[in-house]
């Protein structure tokens, strides 16, 4: 024991002497200090490409269109950000459960994937300011006896793995039988096949599932919203140069009307996915 303690003390003294402790001594892919280290922003500019994790089956945020192109509201926001950085945009599909690991492992620089800024997720990644505001709701077959989250007691409800929706519904109604799928379309398929009686996630995602369906009128979104889901973009931890760049770009988009223009394009009254804009971005003077 004594020998071990001595060895640890020696190692610590040596480490201090060499200056290898503290936040500057992290391994690649882990936290980096704000000032002393290179920012991801510099890396992206040098590389000439911003690699972004996006959803590919979640209209209107990120989905494959009729021309087999990956498009959507969050993808357009990212295009503007990449343009502002003066780089190209490369998209990588992510799911609710892969998006955080892909960011922490460095396979993407940023994630814009219907992701709620949860305090518990801050232990792994950082978030930008809110770029979209939503709340969780329920999608059911029209005429269903399920009218709110309370009615899910003893019923099967589908959602996606790694989502806040999964945890929120278990908390809101511990009697509900929650079935977690890889993504929301398989959960919706289960609803169509009668394997679950409801699908639960953010209301705008439910609007996307319902209105993309060949028979949208067969489905109904019920129960209002029972949570708050402020979407932020996921960014590498402790890199304020990168994070501020994205935040300032989002603010610029809001102030210039570019945000409203893109919102109108994807969720305006003349679109398939009409979702009224009812919140305001945090604007720094
Ligand atoms: N916004 C929620 C979340 O971040 C649900 C949607 C999703 O799974 O992407 O988990």
Indicate the domain borders of the chain. Answer: 40-133+233-267, 136-227
- Peptide bond preceding 80 in cis form (omega within 30 of 0): no
Q: How far is 184 from 206, CA to CA, in rounded Å?
A: 9
pLDDT for res 30:
46
Beta-strand pair 198-202/49-54? unpaired
pLDDT attached to residue 61? 98
Ligand 1 centroid to residue 187 C-alpha, Å: 14
Query: Cα separation of 259 and 264, whole Å?
Result: 8
Four-CA torsion 266, 267, 269, 270, nearest 10 degrees: 20
Picking from 245, 248, 152, the residue whose alpha carbon sits closest to that of residue 191 is 152
Q: Could you tell me the distance, in angstroms and rounded to a whole number, from the CA of residue 149 to the centre of ligand 1?
A: 18
Query: Strand 49-54 to strand 88-93: parallel, antiparallel, or no bridges (unpaired)?
Result: parallel
Asked whether the bond before 215 is cis by omega within 30 degrees of 0, the reply is no
Cα separation, 206 vs 237, whole angstroms: 31
**For residue 231, how far is its CA from the centre of ligand 1 (angstroms)?**
8
Question: 136-227: which CATH number, 3.10.150.10, 3.40.190.10, 3.90.320.10, 3.40.50.450?
Answer: 3.40.190.10
pLDDT for residue 119: 97
Tokens matching residue 163 = 């989502």
Distance between CA 90 and CA 97 in Å, rounded?
20
Q: What is the pLDDT along the chain (285 residues), one digit of tens a residue?
A: 444 444 444 444 444 444 333 333 334 444 444 455 799 999 999 999 999 999 999 999 999 999 999 999 999 999 999 999 999 999 999 999 999 999 999 999 999 999 999 999 999 999 999 999 999 999 999 999 999 999 999 999 999 999 999 999 999 999 999 999 999 999 999 999 999 999 999 999 999 999 999 999 999 999 999 999 999 999 999 999 999 999 999 999 999 999 999 999 999 999 999 999 999 999 999
Which residues' Cβ are closer than 6 Å to ligand 1? 96, 114-116, 160, 163-165, 201-202, 205, 229
User: Distance between CA atoms of 43 and 41, rounded to whole angstroms?
Assistant: 5
CB neighbour list of residue 96: distance below 8 Å, 6 or more residues apart? 113, 114, 115, 160, 161, 162, 163, 183
Asked if domains 40-133+233-267 and 136-227 share a fold, the reply is yes
Q: Which residue has the tokens 């003294």?
A: 13
Q: Which residue, 191, 159, 56, is CA-closest to 114?
A: 56
Question: Which residue's structure tokens are 């319902």?
Answer: 210
Ligand 1 atom closest to residue 99's alpha carbon, by position in its atom list: 9
pLDDT tens-digit map of 172-188 = 999 999 999 999 999 99
Atom of ligand 1 nearest to the CA of 201: 5
Give the CATH architecture of domain 40-133+233-267: 3-Layer(aba) Sandwich (3.40)
112 forms bridges with which residues in the sheet? 54
How many CB atoms are located within 10 Å of the residue 122 CB? 11
- Token pair for residue 218? 């067969």
Question: For 227-245, how does the pLDDT look when each residue is reduced to its tens digit (9 = 90+)?
Answer: 999 999 999 999 999 999 9
Question: Which numbered atom of ligand 1 lies nearest the CA of 184?
Answer: 8
Radius of gyration, CA atoms only, the chain: 22
């Amino acid at each position: 024991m004594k020998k071990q303690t001595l060895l640890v003390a020696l190692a610590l003294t040596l480490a201090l002497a060499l200056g290898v402790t503290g936040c500057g001594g992290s391994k690649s892919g882990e936290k980096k200090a704000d000032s002393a280290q290179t920012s991801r922003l510099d890396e992206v500019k040098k590389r000439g490409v911003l690699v972004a994790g996006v959803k590919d089956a979640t209209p209107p945020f990120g989905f494959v269109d009729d021309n087999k192109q990956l498009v959507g509201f969050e993808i357009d926001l990212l295009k503007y950000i990449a343009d502002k950085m003066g780089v190209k945009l490369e998209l990588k599909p992510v799911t609710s459960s892969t998006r955080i690991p892909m960011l922490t492992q460095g396979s993407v620089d940023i994630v814009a994937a219907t992701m709620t800024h949860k305090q518990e997720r801050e232990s792994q990644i950082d978030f930008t300011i809110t770029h979209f505001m939503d709340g969780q709701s329920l999608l059911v077959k029209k005429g269903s006896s399920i009218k709110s989250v309370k009615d899910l007691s003893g019923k099967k409800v589908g959602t996606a793995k790694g989502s806040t929706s999964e945890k929120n519904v278990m908390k809101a109604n511990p009697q509900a039988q929650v079935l977690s799928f890889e993504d929301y379309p398989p959960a919706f398929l289960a609803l169509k096949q009668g394997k679950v009686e409801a699908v639960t996630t953010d209301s705008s995602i439910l609007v996307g599932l319902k209105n993309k369906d060949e028979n949208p009128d067969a489905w109904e979104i019920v129960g209002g919203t029972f949570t708050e889901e402020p979407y932020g973009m996921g960014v590498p931890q402790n890199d304020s140069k990168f994070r501020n760049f994205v935040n300032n770009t989002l603010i610029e988009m809001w102030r210039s009307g570019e945000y409203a223009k893109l919102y109108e394009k994807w969720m305006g009254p003349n679109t398939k996915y009409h979702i009224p804009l009812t919140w305001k971005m945090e604007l720094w003077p």
